[in-house]
Amino acid sequence: MEVRSKGEVIYEAVALNDVVLHSGKSVHMIDFDLNIDGQYVYRQHSDGLIVSTPTGSTAYALSGGGPIVHPSMDAIVLVPMHPHTLSSRPIVVGGQSEIKIQIRENRVLPMVSADGQHSVSLSVGDSLHIRKHPYKLNLLHPPGYDFYMASGFMMNIEQMLAVLNPEIVGRLKTAVEIGKWPNGVALTKEQREICMQAVYAWEIQHLPKTERSGYIDRGTKEEGEQCDDDHIVPS
């Protein structure tokens, strides 16, 4: 990303997830023009614009109503933030595209940040130029990593049981315990219930009773010893 003022580059930054144009701490909307590969797209009055990579499509852009883009896709996602229009929608363009955002006159100073880091103020006439970095970044995932499961997509229990293994079961149990997926997206009530049912069903098929979740070892009674259960009178 480059910020240019009067044709000169005054700020540069690199982002893994997204570049966000926003209005800072102000509650006022901002006004800007969007161009893609030199072609005018629209003038927008909104809270800002999220320009996201496929990796970032499951982060802030997702919260703004953007699509989930598979990491193998060479694409850039543009997600308007609360646009004052009925026709503005997220746009997905090719990864080689160059995005230009021209700042118009505003009541407040718009700001831009890369991956939520340091924000830079923009003046009237300044422009943002966003394009894919020439160097690729290789991300490491643990064995058995599943993009769709990590992104919060769910299957029915039968489908889940067909692909579950000890490592995935461990991740599901962790997700249930902390209430969110590895990427930070919160589990819905339905997802939590399906995960719990899948883990329980898998453990019944693959683990002895003593190793299943929730198992309580009551021990064995010595001769003459009584357990609390001995005093329970069936109704």
- Domain ranges across the chain: 2-131, 155-206
Tens digit of pLDDT for each residue in 19-73? 999 998 888 899 999 999 999 999 999 999 999 999 999 889 998 999 999 988 9
List CB contacts of 170: < 8 A, sequence separation 6 or more: none
In this structure, the dihedral spanned by the alpha carbons of residues 64, 70, 74 and 76, taken in order and rounded to 10 degrees, is: 0
Q: How confident is the model at residue 9 (pLDDT cuts 50, 70, 90)?
A: very high
Q: Tokens for 178?
A: 């902390």
Residues 103-160 have pLDDT tens digits of 999 888 899 999 988 899 999 999 999 999 999 888 887 776 777 766 766 556 676 6
Helix, strand, or coil (residue 94): strand
In CATH, 2-131 is 2.60.200.30: yes
Residue 10 has pLDDT above 90, yes or no: yes
Q: What are phi and psi of 173, to 5 degrees?
A: -65, -40
Q: Which residues of 123-136 are buried (b: 16+ CB within 10 A; e: fewer)?
A: eeebbbebbeeeee
Nearest to 198 by CA among 145, 149, 144, 151: 149
Q: pTM above the 0.85 mark? A: no
| Residue 220 confidence class, pLDDT cut points 50, 70, 90 | low
**Across residues 163-173, what is the average pLDDT?**
86
- The pLDDT, as a whole number, for residue 230 is 52
- Tokens representing 200 are 């329980």
Helices 189-206, 166-178: crossing angle, 10 deg rounding? 140
